[in-house]
Each structure stands twice: as structure tokens, then as C-alpha cells.
Amino acid sequence: MLLIFLFNKTNKKNIITSEASFYTEKIQKKAGNKLKQPLFSGACTALITPFKNGKIDYKSLDRIIEFQIDSGIRALVISGTTGEAPTLSYYEHKNLIKHAVKRANGRAKIIAGTGSNDTAKAIKMSKYAEEYGADGLLIVTPYYNKANKEGIFFHYQKINDNTNLPIIVYNVPTRTCVNISAEVYAKLADLTNVCGIKEASSNLSDLAMTARTCPLPIYSGNDDLLLPVLSLGGCGVISVMSNVFPHASIEICKLFECGRIDEAREVYFKYLKFSKLLFSDINPTPIKAVMAYAGLCENELRLPMTKAGKACEKMLIEEFNNLTK
């Protein structure tokens, strides 16, 4: 069974196991200030939400969480974009966070996706996440009704003032049509609970400016840009690929931090084609197809998401099999 193979491959993989913090002091200064303490460092998995017959499949979710923790992942995003949060009911969203916190039981940090284009709703869900024991929040910029620079800042400020949990700001312009500038990031860094950036803009020039001027830890929001982001001082990744290849995301980060850049690049290049194929259709369509093939869950999505087409699935499975030989 492929699921068993994935467990064995992860456990046998030659991963650096130093207990030293991934995020060290050697690159801790930007614009004259020390970087804020990151909520996590290295690889975090943006988990899918498994469904079966129209309902959340908690049995599969438990299996996925255990697979992640056994593989060495120490941070998990629940109910984010990859988790199809927009199609979760209010009750499902709350219960999903509560269930994940209970299942992880302190073995991995649970970061709850609680963003909304309604600031009041984002605050309400963030309070529930805090009540249920989540370790942090992932909050996307307001979408559709969008916001100008002032609106973005006040949105996060209001959430910051109504929770004690660490907040990772999520910038994904391809989905929101809003981009956070380095100037706004610098202001957000002054908020007590804002502790990081998930950057998924794919604009490395803008990212470089943010990295140069902003004291917030930066996480790559794109698997195919992980190594470039690390080279700009990033402290890790919030990964889709690590749903099936957690060891690869962990290894790239740890090799890079240990100064073994050539080896990190080798692993990065090995998985680059697969990471790009994961976005050959709308996320999480491709990753769910692969996870179903691997025996981790059903290949079930909620409308308006639909299953990957045959050509897309064929390419995904072929590359997955190449990587698991």
C-alpha cells in the first residue's frame, strides 16, 4: 500500500536531526532590528480537509495528522486555502480546529486559518480558535471587497487587538487581487501579535524589499519558490507538497540552514516538477488526487472545486511514482 510506503520512506530518509533551532541568530537583523520570534521554523503543512459523502472525514484527518507528525512536521495549518475553508460551514470550521488541536495534543503546533473579508467574522473565528487551544492564526488579506493600504492595516490591527494568539499575515494576490507592500508590512510588524508573513505573491523583487526592510519572519507560500525564499532570509515554508512529501520540505529547510546549500538545491530540484504540477489545476484539486492515490483520503472536493482532469491526474501520478521509486 502506498501509504505504508510513504511512512517507511519518511522514516528511512537521511534527514538532519539537530535539535538546534532552524531560525538562528546569524541572520536576525534587518533595518537595525532583530527579527520577531517566529511561531515555527522549517516546514509546516497546509493540510487538506478530507471529505467523504459530503462530510468531513475525521478518520482520514486523524490518519493524515499522524502521518505528518510521524514524519517530523511540527506545525500544521488547519482550514486554510488548501483546506477548502470557504466551503466549510461555521460549525464545521470551528469543529475542525477543535478536533485538530485535540488530535495533535501538543505534538505539533496547530495554526488555524481564520481569515475573512469581514473583519468582525475574522475576529469571531479567531476567538474560537484561541478558546479551542490553537497555537496561532493564519489570516489572509481581505478579498473581493478588498481594501487600500489603510484598510489592510486596520483589518489586522483590529484582529490583533482582539486575540492573544500569534498572527501570520497571508499575502496571496492571485486569489485576493490585493498585494501587501513592504511599507505596509513594516507597519504590521509593530502590532504585538503579528509574528510572520506567508508570502505567496511569487514576486521575488517585492519579497527582497520586504526581507530587507521588515523584521517579520517570512515563510514561502509556494513550494516551487522555497529555496529562493530561504536565500532571501526566509525561515521556512507553509507547504502543499508536504501533504505527501513532508520529508522533502523538512530536508530542504534543514540542509539550507546547515549551510549545505548544494544538497538543499539537489533536493529542491528533485521535487520541483512535482511542486509545480500541484498547481497545474486549482489548489487543492491536484494534491487531493495524489493523496487519494496514496491511500490517505478520498478524492472528494466541494463545489465549486472539482476533481482533476484525466491528463492532469496522469502527470501527477507519474511524477509521484517517479519520486517514490
Quote the pLDDT of residue 99. 98
Q: How far apart are CA 287 and CA 80, in angstroms?
A: 14
48 has pLDDT over 50: yes
User: Which grid cell sits at 108?
Assistant: 505539533
The answer to whether 219 is a known catalytic residue is: no
Average pLDDT over the chain, rounded to an integer: 92
Which amino acid would we find at residue 302?
A: R
Spatial CB neighbours of 90, under 8 Å, sequence gap ≥ 6: none
169 has pLDDT over 80: yes
Active-site entry in 23, 128, 156, 170: 170
Q: How far apart are CA 290 and CA 278, in angstroms?
A: 9
Q: How far apart are CA 238 and CA 111, in angstroms?
A: 11
Report cis status (omega within 30 of 0) of the bond before 166.
no
User: Which grid cell sits at 285?
Assistant: 484539486
**Helix locations, the chain, DSSP H:** 2-12, 58-70, 90-104, 119-131, 149-160, 173-176, 182-188, 204-213, 226-231, 246-257, 261-277, 285-293, 310-323
The answer to whether 128 is a known catalytic residue is: no
CA atoms within 13 A on the CB side of 163: 33
Percent of the chain with pLDDT over 70: 90
25 has pLDDT over 60: no
For range 295-306, the mean pLDDT = 98
228 in Cβ contact with 49 (< 8 Å)? no
Percent of the chain with pLDDT over 90: 88
- Model confidence pLDDT, tens digit, residues 236-257: 999 999 999 999 999 999 999 9
Q: How far apart are CA 321 and CA 74, in angstroms?
A: 26
Q: Report how many helices (DSSP H) and strands (DSSP E) the chain contains, helices first.
A: 13, 12
- Model confidence pLDDT, tens digit, residues 90-118: 999 999 999 999 999 999 999 999 999 99
**What is the fold, at CATH topology level, of the domain defined by 39-263?**
TIM Barrel (3.20.20)
Active-site entry in 198, 268, 271, 288: 198
